[in-house]
Amino acid sequence: MGMSTILVLGGSNGRTLEKLAKKRDCQVIFHDGKNHGGVKKTFRSVIKKCDVIVIQKGACGHVSIDVAKEYAKKYDIPLLFNQGFGGTGALEMGLKHLQAA
């Protein structure tokens, strides 16, 4: 298996997450979870590339969550919810899930 890719939805700490991911030998795709005039196309392309999705519950809109759920089911990708806003927690949650899988 190559490098794992974690999609983090919600929040505003994309740069921090990328640095953390490098240290942990994984890739992270970050999306702020805001609906910029339609998230469907964007989400479809990124969700196909990732191994696990972590949604930052406190920082992600309902539309984005619904779309992510739809594609997670369609492409059979695990979907996790991080209660806080902290990117570190989201990344750790994704990594733990992948190690257990």
Question: Tens digit of pLDDT for each residue in 56-81?
Answer: 988 888 888 999 999 999 999 999 99
Q: What's the start-to-end Cα distance of the chain, in Å?
A: 12
Q: What is the mean pLDDT of the chain?
A: 88
Query: What are the counts of helices (DSSP H) followed by strands (DSSP E) for the chain?
Result: 4, 4
pLDDT for position 11: 84
**What total of structural domains would you count in the chain?**
1
pLDDT surpasses 60 at 1: no
pTM of the full predicted structure? Answer: 0.89
pLDDT of residue 94: 95
As given in the structure block, the two tokens for residue 94 are 């994704």
Containing structural domain, residue 37: 5-100
The amino acid at 50: C
Q: What is the CATH number of the domain that holds 58?
A: 3.40.50.9100
pLDDT band at 37 (very low <50, low <70, confident <90, very high): low
**For the chain, where are the alpha helices, taking DSSP H only?**
14-23, 40-49, 62-75, 87-100
